[in-house]
C-alpha cells in the first residue's frame, strides 16, 4: 500500500463548515483528523502570522475587501487548533507563509499519493503530477495547467485580482497554446505588451486596458504563483498531535458541544501498536 498524505486547507475548510454548522462541526472534524492507517498522514495547514505580507509587498490590494469573519469564528478556530493536539494529525502553521504555499510545497515534495482538501482553484495547478488530487466542490471548465494564467487575465474576485477589463471566460477558452504562451511571455517581461496585443488581435478596448494596466496584471501573475517554503521554516511550523480522544471529548463537553462517542482506548492501543511495528520495521 502506498503512503498517503492528506493535506487540509484549514482556514478554507473550517470556515466553510463553521458557517454552515457552527461549533457543532468540530466533533466530526476532529474524528476525521484521526488517521486509522499506518500509511496515512493527515495534516491541517493554516495561514501563519503575517502570511499575506509577502504578496502584499508586491500587490498591496491583495485580498482586500473580504468580509471579516465573526469573533465566534476566530475563537472557535483557535479552540479547534488546540483540539487537534489531541489527535494524531499534524497541525501546521508557518510564520510569514500562507497555507496555500505550505500545502503546495508538501504536495510537490511527497512521493506517495496526495489528497488536498480545499475549494481553492489555485491547487488545481498541482494536479499535473499524477499522484496529486484535489477534493474540490466546484467544477472548472479550464484546464488545471491554465488556472494561473486564467486568473491573471480574467481576474479572481476572492484575491482582488482585476485581470483585463472586458476579457472573460469565453475569450480565454478560445486561446490556442501559442496565444497563451504569448500572454505569458508578456506577463514575465519577455515580450512587449503592445506587440502581443497586436499579435492576438485584441479589440481596441481590451488592448487599451491590457497596455494601460500591464504592471498591475503582471503583479497579479506573480502573486497567483504558489511559492516554495524553505524546509527549515516548514519544519519549524509543524506540531505533532498526541492521540487522546478522552481529553478531546472533555474539552468539547466543556463548551456544551454534543459529541458522538469518540474512538476508545482500543483504537488508541491499536494505533500505537501499528506505529511501534512501523518503527521496528524501519
Q: What is the pLDDT of residues 33-59, one digit of tens each?
A: 998 788 899 999 999 999 999 999 999
CB 5 within 8 A of CB 41: yes
Q: What integer pLDDT is reported at residue 137 of this predicted model? A: 61
CA angle 277, 280, 282 (to 5 degrees): 110
Residues linked to residue 239 through DSSP beta bridges, in sequence order: 91
Give the pLDDT confidence of 228-257 residue by residue, as tens digits: 999 999 999 999 999 999 999 998 888 766
Q: Which of 199, 219, 235 is nearest to 97 (CA)?
A: 235
Task: With cut-offs at 50, 70 and 90, classify the pLDDT of residue 24.
Answer: confident
Residues linked to residue 6 through DSSP beta bridges, in sequence order: 42, 115
| pTM of this structure | 0.87
Mean local confidence (pLDDT), 107-136 = 93
Task: With cut-offs at 50, 70 and 90, classify the pLDDT of residue 280.
Answer: very low
The residue with cell 503592445 is 194
The domain spans of the chain are 4-141+227-281, 144-224
Mean pLDDT rounded to a whole number for the chain: 89
Structural fold of domain 4-141+227-281:
Rossmann fold (3.40.50)
Greater confidence (87 vs 253) lies with 87
- Judged against a pLDDT cut of 60, whether residue 66 lies above it is answered with yes
Q: What integer pLDDT is reported at residue 272 of this predicted model? A: 45
Q: What integer pLDDT is reported at residue 210 of this predicted model? A: 97
Q: What integer pLDDT is reported at residue 134 of this predicted model? A: 93
Amino acid at each position: 500500500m502506498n503512503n498517503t498524505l492528506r493535506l487540509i486547507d484549514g482556514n478554507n475548510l473550517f470556515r466553510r463548515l463553521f458557517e454552515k454548522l457552527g461549533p457543532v462541526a468540530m466533533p466530526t472534524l476532529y474524528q476525521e483528523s484521526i488517521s486509522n492507517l499506518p500509511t496515512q498522514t493527515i495534516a491541517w495547514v493554516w495561514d501563519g502570522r503575517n502570511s499575506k505580507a509577502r504578496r502584499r509587498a508586491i500587490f498591496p490590494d491583495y485580498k482586500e475587501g473580504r468580509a471579516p469573519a465573526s469573533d465566534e469564528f476566530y475563537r472557535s478556530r483557535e479552540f479547534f487548533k488546540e483540539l487537534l493536539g489531541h489527535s494524531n494529525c499534524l497541525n501546521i502553521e508557518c510564520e510569514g507563509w500562507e497555507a496555500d504555499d505550505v500545502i503546495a510545497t508538501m504536495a510537490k515534495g511527497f512521493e506517495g499519493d496526495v489528497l488536498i482538501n480545499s475549494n481553492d482553484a489555485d491547487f488545481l495547478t498541482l494536479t499535473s503530477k499524477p499522484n496529486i488530487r484535489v477534493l474540490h466542490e466546484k467544477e472548472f471548465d479550464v484546464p488545471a495547467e491554465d488556472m494561473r494564467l486564467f486568473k491573471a487575465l480574467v481576474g479572481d474576485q476572492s484575491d482582488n485580482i482585476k485581470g483585463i477589463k472586458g476579457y472573460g471566460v469565453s475569450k480565454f477558452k478560445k486561446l490556442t497554446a501559442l496565444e497563451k504562451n504569448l500572454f505569458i511571455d508578456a506577463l514575465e517581461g519577455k515580450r512587449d505588451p503592445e506587440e502581443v496585443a497586436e499579435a492576438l488581435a485584441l479589440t481596441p478596448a481590451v488592448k487599451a486596458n491590457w497596455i494601460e494596466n500591464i504592471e498591475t496584471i503582471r503583479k497579479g501573475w506573480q502573486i497567483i504563483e504558489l511559492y516554495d517554503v524553505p524546509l527549515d521554516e516548514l519544519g519549524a511550523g509543524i506540531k505533532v498531535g498526541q492521540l487522546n480522544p478522552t481529553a478531546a471529548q472533555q474539552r468539547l463537553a466543556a463548551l456544551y458541544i454534543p459529541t458522538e462517542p469518540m474512538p476508545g482506548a482500543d483504537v488508541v492501543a491499536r494505533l500505537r501498536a501499528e506505529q511501534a511495528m512501523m518503527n521496528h520495521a524501519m
